[in-house]
């Protein structure tokens, strides 16, 4: 069973460009979470999605950031008009359906390291 997949692993953008980060959850998982890790800091929650629904976006910046998890395909975290402060590692995690006994555990992908020049 493949783990959580994220791509690209490394992404370099110039200020003002768009960054698109992709996350494919583990097989059978329908809950996706995005976290951001600034240098030398812990992970901070950004958004929680289920298929075609945003459940909790309380950690998302109000502007330039958006996320989706379509019926088909990976979850996408989009950052428009990137600035240097967006440079960070972005982690995706997934968990199974709530009816599962193991829904409490989130399994993480390897992260995407975004560098804004």
Partner 1 sequence: AQTVTQSQPEMSVQEAETVTLSCTYDTSESDYYLFWYKQPPSRQMILVIRQEAYKQQNATENRFSVNFQKAAKSFSLKISDSQLGDAAMYFCAYRSRSGNEKLTFGTGTRLTIIP
Q: Which residues contact partner 1 by CB under 8 A? A: 31, 33, 35, 41-45, 48, 55-56, 58-59, 89, 91, 93, 95, 104-108, 110-111, 113
Q: What's the min distance (Å) between Cβ of 73 and partner 1? A: 22
Contact 28, 102 (CB under 8 A): no
Contact 112, 11 (CB under 8 A): yes
Instruction: Tell me which residue has tokens 């240097």.
Output: 84
* DSSP state for residue 24 in the 8-state scheme: E
Q: What's the min distance (Å) between Cβ of 16 and partner 1? A: 27
Q: What's the min distance (Å) between Cβ of 54 and partner 1? A: 13
């Amino acid at each position: 069973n493949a783990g959580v997949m994220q791509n690209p692993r490394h992404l370099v953008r110039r200020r003002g460009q768009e960054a698109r980060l992709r996350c494919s959850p583990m097989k059978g998982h329908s809950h996706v979470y995005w976290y951001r890790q600034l240098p030398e800091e812990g992970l901070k929650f950004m958004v929680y999605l289920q298929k075609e629904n945003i459940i909790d976006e309380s950690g998302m910046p109000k502007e330039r950031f958006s996320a989706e998890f379509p019926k088909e395909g990976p979850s996408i975290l989009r950052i428009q008009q990137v600035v240097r402060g967006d440079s960070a590692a972005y982690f995706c995690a997934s968990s199974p359906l709530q009816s599962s006994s193991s829904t409490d555990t989130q399994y993480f992908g390897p992260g995407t390291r975004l560098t804004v020049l």
